[in-house]
């Protein structure tokens, strides 16, 4: 980490806080000043207490307490102002702090939803997550605790120092010398401490990684009697973490006592130096000044010690803010499509736009010359000479041309990395092509609004991701107003109804995001039901049945075939028995189409497909 | 709970005790300084006695230096004690998990175990450090301060004695009040993180179903709830500072007034008044600290409880007394076996299983998802215990064997298999840490893995990335088989472990088994009929029961399910399939 503060991030962070709470923050600032001033005037009063009120009363027969009582009453008023200010600013800061955090949180999430798939593919999930867990946490600490505290401490320090200067210049010089010493100490210790904290952070990452790996492989460890070796290895990295944690905390822990006790030393020096000055009659020293100075020095050094505690907090928060802003600055997914999807009524080939659900859709194409055209959604997909690479200069698809006519089932076959999934990524525009053209019902997909394009494509992916909620909610995920009847019908179609009914609460059984209480095959069935409920005109199945046994798969397949009758289906499967009845099978190898045709034709060709089919090549 | 947690302090007991002791010395010095200072002011400065100033001044400097030294050492010791405690705690949890049976592992999810080992331990570590430092420091400071005030002036001491409990009560009342709100907030934050995680993982689903707005709505709702609750808690905490100030200012005003009176009356000195002012500050600051510690501890309490849950979990599989350390052969018998994952007879996933497998036989198991194939084989190396009936290996109940011996002799390739970061050689050696390089190459040849391994630039020293991301599915499976073979087991179980291997290699592996390890009993669970059709015995499972046992041709004629599976895989291409 650079030693200098990252002022750009600080500025932006402040701007973020002030954006919605300008007036509140000005009020807070005023109140903090009032509160700190009340605090300092209390110390100043102590000074006058001895010299102005007590000393004059000494050795007098009937001392007059009225001036003292009057002064105390004045102080009480000041105290009340201080107390009220403290309460009000604390109260306002709650809303400012929590409100700002909520805004940042919401903005971050909304932004994340708009990022292109590429962002998620190139960043580790854990890394994205830590924006919400670690980074926002550090900000919370800073905003709700750090800022008002730092402000108030800072004002107290400054006010105390001014009060000292007014009271006595000589003792003030002593304080300045000590102050510099304290600053040097802080800088030295804090820089060591933050260095070790960074190291600790790294080691924690490593230990977390190791634990994560071992815990997920725990069953393998048991099967191989590997427990002792696993313990031994863990002990090693655990000790490493201990060392780093010990060092980091050591430095953090000694900062406060060091500064507090330097403060104590200052306290002692003031008394001694003050005493010497007084005895020798130098510098207009009085007993009251010494007493006041001793107190003032406390209100000067204590905040410095406390401020030092905030340094780590601030450094970490700035690092967190920087990461948050980085994510917010990512380029969002661009969408300049203007062709939209509408419900349609079709009479004698004439298409009429309608609001209600008709089971038919049309593309509403507003041409640049003002012409409005409706094109029926049929699911005709063409790719012409498509080139694509995830990274520059590294093409994974070369010259891919293909078409899927409405109602056809097209299968993609090939080894891992051959480019099957990439093709589907391009059709729904998770990624945009580099060269060539993709048309959907004759329209260039770049012209179609992304949301509408994706709504017209049903996707079932190999890795099933469910959302915390009931099974019914998960099936109805893409269809807000689905009825129970529709949900059950979709589940039946996916052959999921049987096992769902056997679950403790049937369709209302809760599942968590990883679906840990369901088997992989069951999750795949739910995922198929989830896609089927939308009744999409085009369906993309990417290894959708890989974890389902062949017998169940057959039943699901039949259901799907019935559902998708007259619609376009793109299938990726490594179990070739599932794609046998496709209209066309496209065999990919290293991003190029090497064979295409029906099953029987390809078998007769005795090419790559034949070898794959007969098991001579591995697919994965 | 505390007792259980504190057991892990162990070798850091001394430093844990020394921390508060050193801390106490520091506090004592801090208390002594104002007292000495009052003498310095009254006897030295007020009287203009240079000698007094010199003597007491020197004592003060020594006291301040001692305070510095002990304060710093105590901070260092606290860091050592708490980091050490955390280290031991992590190790204890980790080692405990190593003793878990599959049943125990299933009970805790992987991610919850990871959280316990990381976040929860960190929380406890922080709280522990707070306790041995602040929780000791604050009461001592308060106690000493009150004693000293009483020594100086009993009447003013009484003001402290009244003020302290009032403030203490108020602060603890507030902390207690916000505790349940905080608990709720942290649960909500957990849920918020869960929503984010689901969204990050399932971003493709979100985008392809165009549900971004729905998800944003979901997120904002929880985010709002967190805002509401957090604000509620902090609104109450906002009372802390003003209450504190009320107490300080009240005490200061009272002391100023009475102090002035007593000084005028001659029963108090100026110097004593100064020290009284310092004591009140120290005392009230300590109370504030104490209330902070209180909040910290309540937050860490949850974590502590979660850790203890793991530490107290009893491994449900244990060695019998005088276990048997020798597995004679690879014969397996299931006698009337019933099994349930939740130990509930009504929820049995295996029912009335009777099966005998002779030593050296090759047995195939076929059936649908959830039909109980994996559950059945899991009972052989005693990964789970039967709910009823018994499983015998070499004629002896598996419960009578030493667990380690049994699992060394029954080698299993799990369905969900894992490779670990390290080289290929490291991974294979899991099967036998003492294996020579030649032995490793031999088993890899057997598993048909040698060819692709030697094809890698670094051969057997090729690094495997976490989760085996840099080898293909079929390669990973073959490495896992090799790893299991290295144990030279009497029984080898492959739980759907060749699904990604091409059929040709698959049959080569089986051929190698037949020729090279004929005496080993081989059990193969598979989806593909071709993987089992040449087995000595094929077991067809359905709904937790054995439907039929027989040879391929036999089952094809007599068993409906088997025939269905067979046709589902070969329909319309029997001619091609048979050419293989």
DSSP codes of every residue in B110-153 = HHHHHHIIIIIHHHHHHHHHHIIIIIHHHHHHHHHHHHHHHHH-
In this predicted structure, what is the pLDDT of residue B580?
32
d(CA A242, CA B87): 6
Instruction: Identify all chain B residues contacting A513, using CB atoms and an 8 Å cutoff.
Output: 194, 197-198, 201-202
Task: Report CB contact under 8 Å: B41, A271.
Answer: yes
Shortest Cα distance, chain B CAs vs residue A615, angstroms: 5
Instruction: Identify all chain A residues contacting B87, using CB atoms and an 8 Å cutoff.
Output: 238-239, 241-242, 245
Task: Report CB contact under 8 Å: B203, A117.
Answer: yes
d(CA A361, CA A457): 13
User: For the residues B65-89, what does the mean pLDDT come to?
Assistant: 94
In this predicted structure, what is the pLDDT of residue B577?
40
Nearest neighbour of A113 by CB, restricted to B212, B242, B569:
B212
Q: What sign has the CA pseudo-torsion B497, B503, B508, B510?
A: positive
Which superfamily is assigned to B332-572 in CATH?
Answer: P-loop containing nucleotide triphosphate hydrolases (3.40.50.300)
Buried/exposed A302-332: b ≥16 CB within 10 Å, e otherwise: bbbbbbbbbbbbbbbbbbbbbbbbebbeeee
Which superfamily is assigned to B2-312 in CATH?
Answer: ABC transporter type 1, transmembrane domain (1.20.1560.10)
Residue of B nearest to A128 (CA): B200
In this predicted structure, what is the pLDDT of residue B572?
45
Task: Report CB contact under 8 Å: A465, B205.
Answer: yes
Instruction: Identify all chain B residues contacting A229, using CB atoms and an 8 Å cutoff.
Output: 433
Q: How many CB pairs under 8 A join A and B?
A: 427
Task: Report CB contact under 8 Å: A454, B421.
Answer: no
In this predicted structure, what is the pLDDT of residue A514?
63
The full set of domain ranges for chain B reads 2-312, 332-572
Q: What is the mean pLDDT of chain B?
A: 87
Between B326 and A140, where is the model more confident?
B326
- Model pTM score: 0.79
Shortest Cα distance, chain A CAs vs residue B230, angstroms: 7
In this predicted structure, what is the pLDDT of residue B360?
93
User: For the residues B167-191, what does the mean pLDDT come to?
Assistant: 84
Task: Report CB contact under 8 Å: A275, B44.
Answer: yes
In this predicted structure, what is the pLDDT of residue A544?
84
Q: Are strands B362-367 and B521-525 parallel, antiparallel or unpaired?
A: parallel
CB A502 within 8 A of CB A562: no
Residue of A nearest to B48 (CA): A279
Q: How many CA atoms lie within 13 A of A347 on its CB side?
A: 4
Nearest neighbour of A513 by CB, restricted to B117, B197, B241:
B197
* Partner residues linked to B542 by β-bridges: B545
Between A16 and B503, where is the model more confident?
A16
Task: Report CB contact under 8 Å: A221, B98.
Answer: yes
Walk me through the domains of chain A, giving residue ranges and CATH numbers.
Answer: 7-328 (1.20.1560.10), 340-376 (no CATH), 381-613 (3.40.50.300)
Instruction: Identify all chain B residues contacting A414, using CB atoms and an 8 Å cutoff.
Output: none
Residue of B nearest to A120 (CA): B200
For chain A of 620 residues, list the mean pLDDT of each consecutive stretch of 10: 64 87 90 86 78 79 84 92 92 89 92 90 79 80 75 82 83 87 86 82 81 82 86 92 91 87 86 84 79 78 78 76 90 89 85 83 89 89 92 86 90 82 90 90 92 90 85 90 91 88 86 72 88 87 81 79 82 80 88 90 87 64
Mutate to test the interface with A, among B138, B203, B278 (most CBs of A within 10 A): B203
In this predicted structure, what is the pLDDT of residue B579?
33
Task: Report CB contact under 8 Å: A102, B224.
Answer: yes
In this predicted structure, what is the pLDDT of residue A516?
62
pLDDT exceeds 60 at position B31: yes
Task: Report CB contact under 8 Å: B500, A618.
Answer: yes
Nearest neighbour of A250 by CB, restricted to B75, B568, B570:
B75
Instruction: Identify all chain B residues contacting A112, using CB atoms and an 8 Å cutoff.
Output: 199-200
Residue of B nearest to A555 (CA): B568
Instruction: Identify all chain B residues contacting A574, using CB atoms and an 8 Å cutoff.
Output: 500
Place of tokens 């030294």: B69
What 8-state DSSP symbol labels residue A224? T
Residue of B nearest to A204 (CA): B118
- The phi-psi region of residue B153 (left if phi > 0; otherwise alpha if psi is between -120 and 50; otherwise beta) is beta
d(CA B59, CA B77): 26
Mutate to test the interface with A, among B30, B89, B110, B265 (most CBs of A within 10 A): B110
In this predicted structure, what is the pLDDT of residue B575?
38
Shortest Cα distance, chain B CAs vs residue A204, angstroms: 8
Out of B153-162, B353-362, B564-573, the most confident range is: B353-362
Task: Report CB contact under 8 Å: B45, A226.
Answer: no
Task: Report CB contact under 8 Å: B414, A220.
Answer: yes
pLDDT band at B381 (very low <50, low <70, confident <90, very high): very high
d(CA A377, CA A440): 9
Other CB atoms within 10 A of residue B354 CB: 12
Shortest Cα distance, chain A CAs vs residue B323, angstroms: 17
Nearest neighbour of A106 by CB, restricted to B109, B223, B417:
B223
In this predicted structure, what is the pLDDT of residue A617?
57
Shortest Cα distance, chain A CAs vs residue B329, angstroms: 19
pLDDT band at B431 (very low <50, low <70, confident <90, very high): confident
pLDDT band at B576 (very low <50, low <70, confident <90, very high): very low
Nearest neighbour of A245 by CB, restricted to B83, B215, B239:
B83
Nearest neighbour of A416 by CB, restricted to B241, B472, B505:
B472
In this predicted structure, what is the pLDDT of residue A2?
41
* Partner residues linked to A397 by β-bridges: A388
Shortest Cα distance, chain A CAs vs residue B314, angstroms: 16
d(CA A382, CA B80): 67
Nearest neighbour of B231 by CB, restricted to A94, A512, A549:
A94
How much of chain B exceeds pLDDT 70, in percent? 97
Burial of B50: CB neighbours in 10 Å, binned 0-12, 13-18, 19+: middle
pLDDT exceeds 80 at position B437: yes
What 8-state DSSP symbol labels residue A390? S
Q: How far apart are the first and last CA of chain A?
A: 43
Which token pair is B357? 């497998």
Shortest Cα distance, chain A CAs vs residue B3, angstroms: 22
Nearest neighbour of A110 by CB, restricted to B71, B216, B281:
B216
pLDDT exceeds 70 at position B578: no
d(CA A383, CA A403): 6
**A227 Cβ partners below 8 Å, 6+ apart?**
A221, B98, B99
Closest to A422 in 3D by CA, of A591, A586, A574, A576: A591
E strand or H helix at A341, and its extent?
strand A340-347
User: For the residues B288-303, what does the mean pLDDT come to?
Assistant: 77
């Amino acid at each position: 980490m650079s030693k200098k503060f990252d002022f750009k991030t600080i500025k932006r962070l402040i701007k973020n806080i002030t954006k919605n709470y300008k007036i509140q923050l000005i009020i807070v600032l005023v109140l903090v000043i009032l509160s700190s001033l009340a605090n300092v005037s209390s110390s100043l009063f102590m000074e006058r207490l001895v010299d102005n009120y007590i000393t004059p009363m000494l050795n007098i027969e009937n001392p007059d307490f009225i001036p003292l009582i009057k002064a105390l009453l004045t102080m009480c008023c000041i105290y009340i102002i201080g107390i009220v200010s403290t309460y009000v600013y604390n109260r306002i800061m709650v809303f400012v702090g929590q409100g700002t955090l909520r805004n940042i949180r919401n903005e971050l999430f909304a932004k994340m939803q708009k990022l292109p798939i590429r962002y998620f593919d190139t960043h580790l999930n854990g890394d994205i997550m830590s924006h919400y867990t670690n980074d926002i946490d550090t900000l919370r600490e800073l905003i709700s605790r750090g800022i008002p505290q730092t402000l108030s401490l800072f004002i107290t320090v400054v006010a105390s120092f001014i009060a000292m200067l007014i009271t006595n210049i000589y003792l003030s010089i002593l304080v300045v010398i000590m102050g510099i010493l304290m600053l040097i100490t802080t800088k030295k210790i804090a820089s060591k401490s933050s260095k070790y904290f960074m190291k600790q952070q790294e080691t924690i990452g490593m230990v977390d990684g190791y634990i994560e790996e071992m815990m997920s492989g725990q069953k393998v460890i048991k099967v191989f009697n590997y427990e002792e070796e696993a313990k031994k290895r863990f002990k090693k990295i655990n000790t490493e973490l201990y060392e780093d944690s010990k060092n980091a905390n050591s430095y953090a822990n000694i900062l406060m006592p060091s500064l507090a006790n330097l403060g104590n030393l200052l306290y002692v020096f003031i008394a001694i130096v003050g005493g010497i000055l007084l005895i020798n009659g130098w510098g207009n020293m009085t007993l009251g000044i010494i007493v006041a100075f001793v107190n003032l020095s406390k209100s000067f050094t204590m905040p410095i010690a406390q401020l030092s505690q905030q340094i780590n907090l601030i450094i970490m928060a700035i690092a967190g803010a920087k990461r948050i802003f980085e994510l917010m600055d990512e380029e969002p997914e661009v969408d300049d499509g203007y062709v939209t999807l509408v419900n349609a009524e079709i009479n004698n080939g004439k298409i009429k736009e309608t609001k209600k659900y008709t089971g038919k859709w049309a593309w509403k194409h507003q041409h640049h010359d003002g012409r409005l055209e409706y094109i029926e959604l049929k699911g005709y997909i063409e790719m012409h000479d498509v080139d694509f690479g995830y990274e520059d200069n590294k093409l994974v698809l070369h010259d891919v041309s293909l078409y899927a006519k409405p109602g056809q089932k097209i299968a993609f076959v090939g080894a891992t990395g051959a480019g099957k999934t990439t093709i589907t990524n391009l059709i729904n525009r998770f990624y945009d092509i580099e060269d060539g053209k993709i048309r959907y019902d004759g329209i260039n997909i770049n012209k179609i609004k992304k949301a509408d394009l994706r709504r017209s494509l049903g996707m079932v992916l190999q890795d099933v991701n469910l959302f915390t909620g009931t099974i019914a909610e998960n099936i109805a995920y893409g269809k807000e107003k689905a009825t129970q009847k529709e949900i059950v019908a979709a589940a039946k179609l996916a052959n999921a109804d049987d096992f769902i009914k056997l679950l403790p609460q049937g369709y209302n059984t809760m599942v968590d995001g990883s679906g840990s209480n369901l088997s992989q095959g069951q999750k795949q069935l739910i995922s198929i039901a989830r896609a089927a409920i939308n009744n999409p005109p085009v369906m993309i199945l990417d290894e959708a049945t890989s974890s389902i046994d062949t017998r169940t798969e057959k039943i699901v397949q039949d259901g799907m075939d019935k559902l998708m009758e007259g619609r376009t289906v793109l299938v990726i499967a490594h179990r070739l028995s599932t794609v046998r009845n496709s209209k066309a099978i496209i065999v990919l190898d290293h991003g190029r189409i090497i064979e295409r045709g029906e099953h029987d034709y390809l078998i007769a060709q005795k090419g790559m497909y034949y070898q794959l089919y007969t098991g001579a090549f591995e697919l994965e | 709970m505390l007792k259980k947690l504190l057991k892990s302090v162990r070798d850091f007991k001394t430093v844990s005790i020394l921390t508060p002791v050193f801390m106490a010395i520091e506090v004592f010095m801090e208390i002594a300084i104002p007292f000495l200072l009052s003498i310095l002011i009254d006897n030295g400065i007020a009287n203009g006695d240079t000698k007094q100033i010199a003597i007491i001044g020197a004592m003060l400097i020594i006291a301040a230096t001692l305070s510095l030294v002990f304060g710093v050492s105590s901070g260092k010791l606290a860091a050592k004690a708490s980091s050490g405690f955390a280290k031991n705690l992590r190790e204890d949890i980790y080692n405990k998990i190593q003793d878990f049976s599959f049943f125990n592992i299933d009970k805790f999810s992987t991610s919850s175990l990871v959280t316990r080992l990381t976040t929860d331990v960190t929380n406890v570590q922080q709280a522990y450090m707070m306790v041995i430092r602040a929780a000791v420091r604050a009461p001592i400071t308060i106690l000493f301060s009150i004693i000293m005030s009483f020594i100086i002036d009993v009447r003013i001491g009484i003001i402290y004695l009244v003020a302290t409990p009032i403030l203490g009560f108020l602060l603890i009342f507030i902390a207690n009040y916000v505790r349940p709100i905080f608990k709720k907030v942290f649960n909500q934050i957990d849920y918020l993180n869960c929503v984010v995680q689901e969204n990050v993982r399932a971003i493709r689903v979100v985008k392809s179903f165009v549900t971004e707005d729905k998800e944003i709505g979901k997120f904002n709702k929880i985010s709002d709830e967190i805002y509401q609750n957090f604000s509620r808690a902090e609104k109450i905490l906002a009372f802390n500072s003003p209450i504190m100030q009320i107490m300080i200012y009240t005490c200061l005003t009272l002391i100023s007034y009475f102090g002035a009176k007593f000084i005028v009356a001659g029963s108090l000195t100026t110097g004593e008044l100064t020290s009284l002012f310092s004591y009140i500050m120290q005392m009230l600051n300590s109370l504030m600290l104490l209330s902070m510690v209180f909040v910290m501890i309540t937050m860490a309490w949850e974590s502590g409880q979660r850790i203890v849950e793991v530490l107290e979990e009893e491994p449900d599989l244990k060695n019998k007394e005088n276990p048997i350390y020798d597995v004679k052969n690879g014969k397996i018998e299931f006698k009337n076996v019933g099994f349930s994952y939740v130990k509930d007879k009504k929820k049995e996933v295996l029912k009335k299983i009777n099966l005998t497998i002779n030593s050296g036989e090759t047995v195939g198991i076929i059936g649908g998802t959830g039909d109980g194939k994996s559950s059945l084989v899991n009972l052989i190396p005693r990964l789970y215990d039967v709910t009823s009936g018994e499983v015998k290996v070499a004629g002896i109940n598996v419960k009578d064997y030493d667990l380690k011996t049994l699992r060394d002799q029954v080698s299993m390739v799990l369905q969900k298999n894992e490779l670990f970061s390290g080289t290929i050689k490291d991974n294979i050696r899991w099967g036998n840490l003492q294996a020579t390089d030649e032995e490793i190459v031999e088993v890899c040849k057997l598993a048909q893995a040698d060819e692709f391994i030697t094809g890698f630039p670094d051969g057997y020293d090729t690094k495997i990335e976490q989760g085996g991301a840099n080898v293909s599915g079929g390669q990973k499976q073959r490495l896992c088989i090799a790893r299991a073979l290295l144990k030279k087991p009497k029984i080898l179980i492959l739980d759907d472990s060749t699904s990604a291997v091409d059929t040709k290699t698959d049959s080569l592996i089986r051929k190698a088994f037949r020729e090279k390890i004929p005496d080993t009993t081989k059990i193969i669970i598979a989806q593909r009929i071709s993987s089992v059709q040449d087995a000595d015995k094929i077991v067809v499972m359905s709904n937790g029961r054995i439907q039929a046992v027989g040879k391929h041709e036999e089952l094809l004629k007599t068993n409906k399910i088997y025939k269905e599976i067979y046709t589902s895989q070969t329909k319309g291409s029997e001619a091609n399939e048979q050419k293989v």
